[in-house]
Amino acid sequence: MPYRSGDPTVDIEARIETSTAKAYLIEPTMGTKEQVWLPKSQTVQMGEPDDNGNRVFTVTEWWHKQAGLDEGS
């Protein structure tokens, strides 16, 4: 379910641990500290990294829930 213009989105801060042709392995800075695969098709926008390598990702709300990142928000 790739992002379509107008779909709800969520911003998360995370660091990229590694990437493949289709996904990023990220470690969110808030909430769960578990690494999770973020499909590039679910990434709407990706900011520049800060001094610690963290960046803000705008992702689909659907993926955010599927990944379990909305728990405890």
* pLDDT for position 33: 65
Query: Could you tell me the residue ranges of all domains in the chain?
Result: 9-66
pTM: 0.85
CATH of span 9-66 = 2.30.30
Cα–Cα distance measured from residue 22 to residue 64, given in angstroms and rounded to the nearest whole number: 17
Cα-Cα-Cα-Cα dihedral of 15, 23, 37, 6, to 10°?
A: 90
| Of 17, 69, 8, 13, nearest in space to 44 by CA | 8
Chain-centre distance for alpha carbon 6: 18
E strand map for the chain: 9-19, 23-28, 36-39, 43-46, 54-60
- Summarize pLDDT for 31-62 with one digit per residue, the tens: 766 899 999 999 999 999 999 999 999 999 99
Q: What is the pLDDT of residue 5?
A: 81
C-beta atoms surrounding 2 within 10 Å: 11
Q: List, for residues 3-32, the tens digit of each pLDDT value.
A: 778 889 999 999 999 999 999 999 999 876
